Amino acid sequence: MQEIYLDNAATTPMSPAVLAEMTDKMAHVYGNASTLYGLGREAHTVMENSRQVIADSIHAANDEEIIFTSGGSESDNTAITQTALARQDLGKHIITTAIEHEAILKPLKALEDQGFDVTYLPVDQQGRISLDDFKAALRDDTILVSIMMGNNEVGSRMPIHEIGEILKDHQAWFHTDAVQAYGLLDIDVQRDHIDMLSTSAHKLNGPKMMGFLYKREGINFPSFVKGGDQEKKRRAGTENVPAIAGFATAVKALTPAVKEARQAKYHDFKQYVVDGLTQHGVDFAVNGSLTGENLNHVLNLWIKGVSTYVMQTNLDLAGIAVSGGSACTAGSIEPSHVLTAMFGADSPRIAESIRLSFGAYTTQDDLDAFIQNVAAIVERLKHTSEVK
Amino acid sequence: MQDNSHTRVVVGMSGGVDSSVVALRLKQQGYDVVGVFMKNWDDTDENGVCTATEDYKDVAKVAAKIGIPYYSVNFEKEYWDHVFTYFLDEYKKGRTPNPDVICNKEIKFKAFLDYALELGADYIATGHYAQLTRDAEGHNHLLRAVDQNKDQTYFLSQLSAEQLDRVMFPIGDLVKKTQVREMAAEAGLATAKKPDSMGICFIGEKGQFKDFLKQYLPAKPGKMMTVDGEVKGEHAGLMYYTIGQRRGLGIGGDGVDNEPWFVIGKDLKQNILYVGKGYHNPHLYATHLSASDIHWVNTIDRGQDFHCTAKFRYRQKDTGVTVHLSDDGQQVTVEFDDPARAITPGQAVVFYDGNECLGSAIIDAAYNQQRELQLV
C-alpha cells in the first residue's frame, strides 16, 4: 500500500526502459555468454556492448577494466580483501573513513583480525574528512586507501580528486565506493587517478544483484569468487546477461546533463523540505549540510524529541517510506555509525534521526505529503506525551 | 456492521496463536489493525540465536496473511528495570513474586500502551483470556473469561482504570481455547498448531528455575527444621522455596506415618526453612492477611469494608473474604470466611465480585488470629 517512496538511497524502482530491455533479453537472449554457438555469441555481444557503455560512463581507458559483479557489496569486498591478500608483502596499512558502508568496514575488520593496521579517518559535523588528516595518516607501508565518493546516510562527498592526486605517486592503490555517487556525478577515473571503483545497478533504476568493479589495468589480484573463467578469470559465475543489459540501459539514460539536472533538482528538494518543516513549526536540524559538496538525493533530519523508530513507524502507517537506519533483531535499531562519527555517541541525534532520499520519480507532492505528515505526527506526539 | 475503520488498534503480537487470532478477529471486524511484537528479554543463546527471532518470524507470517502492517519494539531495558529487578528484590526478601502480574502492569499495559499511543492507537489489544465491558457511566468492568479454565484476570488485576480505558481483550468471550486454534486454522495462520508457551518469559520453556536464579542471587544453604527445633536437613537457599511447597525437600518418612512434609515458613534473619508434616498442617492455615500496593480496575467506591471473594494465587478457587481498607487506602487487611492454606507473601490477592475482578494487592504477611505466620 506504500504510496510515497522516499528511500531511494536504499534502492530504486526499475525504469520502464530497463524493464523492457530486461524482459526482452530474458525472453530471447538466454544463452550462456561463454559458449561458442550462436545463442552464446549473441549473449556475449549484448554483454560486451553493455560493458562498453558502462566503461564510457566513468571514462575508463578500456572496457576490460569493468568486471561485472553481484553489486556493491561484492565489489567492495573484492577490492578490500583481494588487495590486502595480493599486497601484504608491501605493507599492512590501510586507510579508510569512519563513515564507510558496512561492505567496506566489515571486510576491513576481518583484515584487522588478521594483523592488518587500519586507519579510520574521522569526520566533522558535516560528515567530511580533512585532507590534512589524510596526509598525516598516509605511510610508506600503506597499501590501500578506500574512501567513499559520497556517503549513503548524510550525502557528504569526499575529496576524491585531491586524494587521487596525492596517491598517484604512492604505492597505495586507491579504491572508492561510488555506489551512491554513480547515478549523480560525472565520474572520471582517469582524471581522479582512481584505481578501483564499486557501483551497484539498483541504486539508479537498474536491477538488483548487479554491479561492477572498475579495476584499472595493471591492478592485479586473484578472483574473489573462484570457479569458472568468466570475466577474464576475474569473477567466476555465469554472467547475468539480461541484468547486465538492464544495467547498461539505466546507465545510458544518465548522461552528464541528466545527472547535473538531478543534482540541481534534489538540491531544491532538500531546501523545499527544510523550508516546509520550518513553516510548520517542526523542531528539527539537518544532519550534514545543505550547501557545499553533497550527493543531494540524501537528506538526513534530526526531528528533535521524536525517536527514529516512532517517526519511521508513524510515517509507514501513513504510507510514506523513509529510512530509520538498519533494524537488527526484533525491535532495536543499531545506532548509526555515521551519525556517531559526526556527533558522538551521546548525541540525541543518534536516536532521533531519519533519512529521506530522492529518486527519478520523486515529486513535489511526495515532499508535501512528507512535510504535512511529519508536522501532524510531531503535533500528535506532543499531545500524547501530555496525556501520559 | 459498525464502521471501525477509523479506530486504530495496536495488537501485542507474541508469535503465539492467541494474539494471532486477536489480530485476525479485529481485522475481520474492520478495525485499523497494527501488529507490534515486543521484545522484553535478551535470550540470545551461545550460538547467537534468540527465540524472539523465531517468534517475530511467526508474527511476520501471520500479519502478512491477515494483511496488516507489523513492527517490533524493544523493552529490554524497561523490563529489566521494572520487572526483573523487582523480581530479584522480592526473592532477596524471601518472598515469592509474580512477575507476570508486574509485567502486565509495567510493560504490556504501560510501556507498550504508551508506545501504541505514539503510533496513534485508540486501543491496544492482547490475547489475554479476560473480558472487559464499559458501563453507561464509563466505568470499566473486568470480567473473568468465559472459559474459566483459561481465565487470566488474576494477572490483569493490578491494572488501573486509566490503563484499562485503552484496552481490548478480543478472545475473552470464547467458550473454549480450542476455538482459537480452529479460527487460526480456518484462516490459514502459521501459528494454528504452535504449542502454547509456558512459564515466565525470561526463564524459558523448561524453567530450570534453580539454575536460573543462581545466576543472579547467591544461594545461602542453611538448616531445615520443624517449629519445635528439630533439624530435618539442609535447605539449598531460602529463595528456592515457596510456602506450601512439597517437592524437593528430601525428607524421608519418619516411620510413624507416611505423611509428606511441606514448607511452612522461612526465617530470613536466621536463614532457617521451617517444615511441617501433612497437607493440612495447621501452620499453613491463616485467618487473615495484610497487603499493600492496592490497585482497583475502576473507580467505583465500594466503601472501606466490604465482603467479596478472593484468590491468593493463580490456580485456586475463590474464598469468601472481608476487605478492610486502611484510612489512607494504602493498606488492606483481608479476613477469610474460612481459614486459607499457604498464603504466600509476594503473590497477589485478587478480589472478585461474582464474575467481576475488582482489583488486587500484593500480600505482605499472613496471620492466624494474632500470630504472624511464616516469619518472612
- Per-residue pLDDT reduced to its tens digit, B97-145: 999 999 999 999 999 999 999 999 999 999 999 999 999 999 999 999 9
Q: How far apart are CA B125 and CA B13, in angstroms?
A: 9
A contacts of B56 (beta carbons < 8 Å):
329-330
Residues A49 and A142 grouped into a single domain: yes
Location of each CATH 2.30.30.280 domain in chain B: 218-277
User: Are residues A329 and B114, on separate chains, in Cβ contact within 8 Å?
Assistant: no
- Check the annotation: does B38 bind a ligand: yes
Distance, in angstroms, between B369 CA and closest chain A CA?
44
Residues A22 and A86 grouped into a single domain: yes
| Among chain A residues, CA nearest to B111 | A388
Location of each CATH 3.40.50.620 domain in chain B: 8-187
Residues A238 and A283 grouped into a single domain: no
Query: Sign of the C-alpha dihedral, residues B11, B12, B13, B16?
Result: negative
Q: How far apart are CA A324 and CA B285, in angstroms?
A: 58
Distance, in angstroms, between B232 CA and closest chain A CA?
49
Residue A193 belongs to a domain? yes
Pairs across A and B, CB distance < 8 A: 48
Residues A211 and A286 grouped into a single domain: no
Give the per-residue pLDDT at B212.
Answer: 81
The residues facing B70 across adjacent strands are B35
Task: Name the residue facing A387 among B39, B56, B117 (closest C-beta).
Answer: B117
Q: Hey, of A306, A312, A317, which one would you mutate to test binding to chain B, going by the most B CBs within 10 A of its CB?
A: A317
Can B103 be counted among the known catalytic residues?
A: yes
- For residues B111-139, one letter each, b for 16 or more C-beta atoms within 10 angstroms of the residue's C-beta and e for the rest, the string is bbbbbbbbbbbbbbbbbbbbbbeeeeeee
Residues 6+ apart with CB under 8 A from B269: none
Among candidate residues A212, A229, A251, the one where a domain is terminated: A251
The CATH T-level fold of domain B282-373 is Elongation Factor Tu (Ef-tu); domain 3 (2.40.30)
Residue A307 belongs to a domain? yes
A contacts of B115 (beta carbons < 8 Å):
310
Half-sphere CA count of A20, side-chain side, radius 13 A? 4
Which stretches of chain A score pLDDT less than 70? 1-2, 326-332, 386-388
How far is it between the farthest Cα atoms of chain B?
72
Q: What is the ipTM score, two decimals? A: 0.86
A383 contact B CB<8A: no
The structural domain count of chain A equals 2
Residues A42 and A169 grouped into a single domain: yes
Give the per-residue pLDDT at B205.
Answer: 46
Q: What phi and psi, each to the nearest 5 degrees, are found at residue A16? A: -55, -40
**Cell triple for residue A362?**
520523486
> How confident is the prediction along chain B (376 residues), in pLDDT tens digits per residue?
689 999 999 999 999 999 999 999 999 999 999 999 998 887 776 666 666 788 899 999 999 999 999 999 999 999 999 999 999 999 988 899 999 999 999 999 999 999 999 999 999 999 999 999 999 999 999 999 999 889 999 999 999 999 999 999 999 999 888 999 999 999 999 999 999 876 556 665 445 677 788 888 888 999 999 988 999 999 999 988 989 998 888 887 666 777 899 999 999 889 999 999 999 999 999 999 999 999 999 999 999 999 999 999 998 899 999 999 999 989 999 999 999 999 999 999 999 999 999 999 999 999 998 787 765 4
Residue A32 belongs to a domain? yes
Q: Hey, of A306, A311, A332, A379, which one would you mutate to test binding to chain B, going by the most B CBs within 10 A of its CB?
A: A332
B contacts of A329 (beta carbons < 8 Å):
39, 50, 52-53, 56
Among candidate residues A222, A251, A280, the one where a domain is terminated: A251
Residues A241 and A148 grouped into a single domain: yes
A contacts of B107 (beta carbons < 8 Å):
none
Q: What phi and psi, each to the nearest 5 degrees, are found at residue B153? A: -60, -30
A272 contact B CB<8A: no
Residues A152 and A278 grouped into a single domain: no
Half-sphere CA count of B365, side-chain side, radius 13 A? 13
Residues A171 and A286 grouped into a single domain: no
User: Which residues of B lie closer than 8 Å to A, measured between beta carbons?
Assistant: 34, 37-39, 50, 52-53, 55-56, 69, 71-76, 114-115, 117-120
Query: In this structure, what CATH number is given to the domain that contains residue A189?
Result: 3.40.640.10
Query: In this structure, what CATH number is given to the domain that contains residue A268?
Result: 3.90.1150.10
Q: What is the CA radius of gyration of chain B?
A: 22
Residues A154 and A183 grouped into a single domain: yes
Which residue of the set A27, A36, A328, A387 is catalytic?
Answer: A328
A contacts of B6 (beta carbons < 8 Å):
none
Residue A386 belongs to a domain? no
Three-class DSSP category at B260: coil
The CATH T-level fold of domain B8-187 is Rossmann fold (3.40.50)
Among candidate residues A235, A251, A267, the one where a domain is terminated: A251
Stated as kind and residue range, the H or E segment containing A146 is strand A142-146
Task: Name the residue facing A330 among B52, B117, B119 (closest C-beta).
Answer: B52
Residues A124 and A180 grouped into a single domain: yes
Where in the sequence is the domain holding A78, given as residue range(s)? Answer: 14-251
Residue A96 belongs to a domain? yes
- Check the annotation: does B229 bind a ligand: no
- CATH hierarchy code of domain B218-277: 2.30.30.280
User: Are residues A310 and B119, on separate chains, in Cβ contact within 8 Å?
Assistant: yes
Three-class DSSP category at B283: helix
Residues A246 and A334 grouped into a single domain: no
- Per-residue pLDDT reduced to its tens digit, B34-76: 999 998 887 776 666 666 788 899 999 999 999 999 999 999 9
Residues A218 and A263 grouped into a single domain: no
